[in-house]
Amino acid sequence: MILQSKISFPFFIQLSHLMKSKITFLLAWSLFVVSLQAQMPFKSVKLPDKALNFVVASDMGRRGISEQRAIAGWMGETAAFHKLGFVVVAGDPIHDEGVKSTTDPEWQEKFESIYTAPSLMHLPWYVVSGNHEYRGSVQAILDYSQISDRWKAPARYFTIEKEMDSKGTRCLLVLIDTTPLIEKYRTDGHYSDAGLQDAKRQLAWIDSILVVSNCKWKIVIGHHPVYADTGKDLSERTDMQRQLEGILDKRKADLYICGHIHNFQHIRPKGKSVDYVVNSSASLSRPVQPIDGTLFCSGDPGFTVCSVTSSALTFYFVNHKGEAIYSREKKK
């Protein structure tokens, strides 16, 4: 017996309209994304005078392959042209197994021989660890501060305060150690001493630093995202949301900047005031799709430039070709 479906002619008209609507939406979205990714050399961007300007880099350390050497070159040009003040490393400076000691050859092969531009040699590099550092020795990451004049890792988590004008307007950067805040790293023996770290103590410290600070701008920087499109374990984000998001909201942080996902994302969840910025990889990048709250995303590798004045905080996504593919300004 042959079963025949009966589909009326009006159904085909409705289907046609639906398909046209979807095509129109997809076309509009594509044009929107293309418009955001308009290629503009970052050198053509004029950063404000008397601003606090710095680079955020992360997910580095691949012996110069996967665009790492090109990106290092653009970081050097950016630092020289715009007179940047410092570099913040949001975790994973040395893939894949971190380092075993301060004399590990990985330092030369994956960091020192790559970031050789004079403009980068004389800048301080403020560093927090990512999950890959916990595959080696995090203590070696800290101890390298005694070896290299530019490497600044005074503790697993720490703060930087910078003054931006003669009136004493200040910006606070809170650099945190996110690996011990995520349960799977604490219980997996591949991640050295992550489980021995006092997560509650760090969270209390973050809260206390933010609550007592009278800085106009408050930026928190760690390795793992609170919100992001990623194929990585959902538990990473739910742990970060459970542990950190409430502090960021309550203490009115302006930005949370992370790495780990190897692409650019700017997300502001509905009803939230915190902007969540995912910095792309300084070497190997991954594809990305928008999620709820996504204002921009790109699978390009690269780095982020932040420019902070007494009235505005602006960040720029700069890709492996030295192009500013996105910027966003936040005013107070």
pLDDT tens sequence across 248-299? 999 999 999 999 999 999 999 999 999 999 999 999 999 999 999 999 999 9
In 3D space, the residue among 74, 62, 32 whose CA is nearest the CA of residue 304 turns out to be: 74
Instruction: Give 302's pLDDT tier (boundaries 50, 70, 90).
Output: very high
Segment 114-129, tens digit of pLDDT: 999 999 999 999 999 9
What is the per-residue pLDDT for 38? 53
Phi, psi (deg, nearest 5) at residue 2: -100, 125
Q: If you average pLDDT over residues 2-25, what whole number do you get?
A: 38
pLDDT bucket at 23, cuts 50 / 70 / 90: very low
3-state class (DSSP) for residue 29: helix
Q: How far is Cα 295 from Cα 267, in angstroms, rounded to an integer?
A: 6
Q: Which letter, b or e, does each residue of 300-327 get, where b requires 16 or more Cβ atoms within 10 Å of its Cβ?
A: bbbbbbbbbbbeebbbbbbbbbbbbbbb
Query: How big is the CA angle at 57 (ends 253 and 286), to the nearest 5 degrees?
Result: 100
Neighbours of 70 (CB within 10 A): 18
**Average pLDDT over the chain, rounded to an integer:** 90
| Res 15: pLDDT | 37
Average pLDDT over residues 67-77: 96
Q: Which domains does the chain have, with CATH numbers?
A: 18-331 (3.60.21.10)
pTM: 0.88
- Residue 20: per-residue pLDDT: 42
Average pLDDT over residues 20-43: 51
